[in-house]
Amino acid sequence: MKTKHKCLVIFSDIDLAGYTGQPKVAMDYVKELRNANFPVTIFSNAQDMNKAVQYLEKDDICIEGNGSLLTYFRALGKLLSSITTRRYSVVITHGALLTIFIMPFLFFKRTKIYFSLCEVLGFQNLFYKLLYSLLSRRAKGVIVTSNLIKSELSQIKIHQEKIIVRMLGLDNKFCLNKKQNEFQYDIMYFGDAKIDRGFQYLEKLAIDFPNLTFLILIRWIEDQCQSQLEQLNGFDNVCVKYYPYTKDLKYFLDISKIVFLPFKFMGVRPPLSIIESMAAGKVVITSNMRGNEELITHGHNGFTFAMDSQYSDVTKAIDLILKDQNLASTIAKRARNSILEAQKNQKSLCASINIE
C-alpha cells in the first residue's frame, strides 16, 4: 500500500481563521488534505490560544504571539525539529513575507514545496518581490486566488506554468439556498470600518436614502472612521453590530436585500466577502477594484463602480434594484450560480499539487 504524503502547512494567525481571508485560505488547505486522509501538521501562531484550539490536532505546532517574523524566529527551533523528525514530503507556505523568511531553512530539504498567496504584491517593495521570485525557483508551484495575482507574479518572472489559480475556499453554509420571504434590511455592509474598505460611503448613502434600512457589521475600527461610525450609530435607519456578532454571518445575509462593499483597497483578491455574498444569492454592489471583475460582470450578476467618480450611478443602481424585484431576483440568482459553477469546476487541492 502506497504511503500517504506527510504534509506541513505554514501560515500565520490561525486564531483568526474563522473570519479573515489570509488564515482561512491556509486552513482550507488543511481541511481538504485531512479530508483526503493525508497526515497534516500545522505550524502557525495565535494571539488568542483559546480560539486556536478548535483548529489544532495533536502534532500541530502553534506559537503564542502575533504574526510577526520575530515570533517565528523565536520558534524556529520547533519548526526545524519538526521538519527533521517528521520528514514531510509536501510543504505549503502561505503569505509572501512568511515564505521568504521560512524558505532558506527549507531550500535544500528533499520535499515538494508550494508557495501560497492570496494578496496582491503591489504594497511590497521591489526587494521582497525579487526575493520571492528568486526563491520560487525552488518551489514546485505557487497557488494563488486570482488571475490578477498570477499576472503580478508573471511580471516578476515567475513562470506561468508554475502558477495555480484556485478560488478562495467557501464554507458550504453560504451555498444553502434559503427562501427569504421578508427582508429586515435594504442594504448590508460587513467588514472593517476603514477608509481602504470605503467605509466613508456608508454615511453618505444613509443620508441620501433616509427611507432605507442599513445593517452594518463591524470587526475592526480605524481611528479615522470613528467619528463616521458615531454618526451612523445616531441614525434611525442604521443598525450597527460589532464582532463577535450575536448570530451567524449567513443569517444576516439572508435578511438583507443588497450587499454594499465599496472597497478602495483590499490585499486579498478577490475579497472573500464578495464570494460569500454572491454564494448566498445577494445582489452585490462593489467597487471596480482590480480582481473584482473576475467574479462580477457589471449589470449581469452584480454591479461594480468607480466609487469616487460614479457615486450617482451607485444610487441609481440601488433605486433600480429595490424597485424592480424581477431584476433583483435575476441578478441574485446569476450571482449565486456563477460562484457555485466556479466551485464545481475547480480542481481539488490534491489534484492541483499532484499528490492524489
| Of the candidates 289, 335, 315, the residue with the CA atom closest to the CA atom of residue 148 | 289
Per-residue pLDDT of the chain (356 residues; tens, 9 = 90+): 456 799 999 999 999 998 888 999 999 999 999 999 999 999 999 999 999 999 999 999 999 999 999 999 999 999 999 999 999 999 999 999 999 999 999 988 889 999 999 999 876 789 999 999 999 999 999 999 999 999 999 999 999 999 999 998 888 899 887 766 689 999 999 999 999 999 999 999 999 999 999 999 999 999 999 999 999 999 999 999 999 999 999 999 999 999 999 999 999 999 999 999 999 999 999 999 999 999 999 999 999 999 999 999 999 999 999 999 999 999 999 999 999 999 999 999 999 999 87
Q: Looking at the chain, which runs of residues are DSSP E strands?
A: 7-10, 40-46, 61-64, 90-94, 112-117, 141-144, 163-165, 185-193, 214-221, 238-242, 256-261, 283-287, 303-305
- Rounded distance between C-alpha atoms, residue 301 and residue 121, angstroms: 28
What confidence score (pLDDT) does residue 172 get? 87
Strand partners, 240: 216
Task: Please tell me what DSSP assigns to residue 293.
Answer: G
Q: Which residues contact 254 (CB under 8 A, 6 or more apart)?
A: 178, 180, 280
Residue 320's identity, in one-letter code, is L
Q: Which three cell numbers stand for residue 231?
A: 454618526
Task: Give the chain's domains with CATH numbers.
Answer: 7-166 (3.40.50.2000), 172-342 (3.40.50.2000)
Strand partners, 193: 221
Using omega within 30 degrees of 0 as the cis cutoff, is the peptide bond preceding 270 cis? yes
Task: Please tell me what DSSP assigns to residue 39.
Answer: -
What confidence score (pLDDT) does residue 180 get? 63
Residue 59's identity, in one-letter code, is D
| Of the candidates 230, 267, 250, 5, the residue with the CA atom closest to the CA atom of residue 120 | 267
Query: Computed over its alpha carbons, how large is the radius of gyration of the chain?
Result: 21
What confidence score (pLDDT) does residue 245 get? 93
What number of other Cβ atoms are within 10 A of residue 81's Cβ? 11
What confidence score (pLDDT) does residue 181 get? 63
Sheet holding 141-144, edge to edge: 61-64, 40-46, 7-10, 90-94, 112-117, 141-144, 163-165
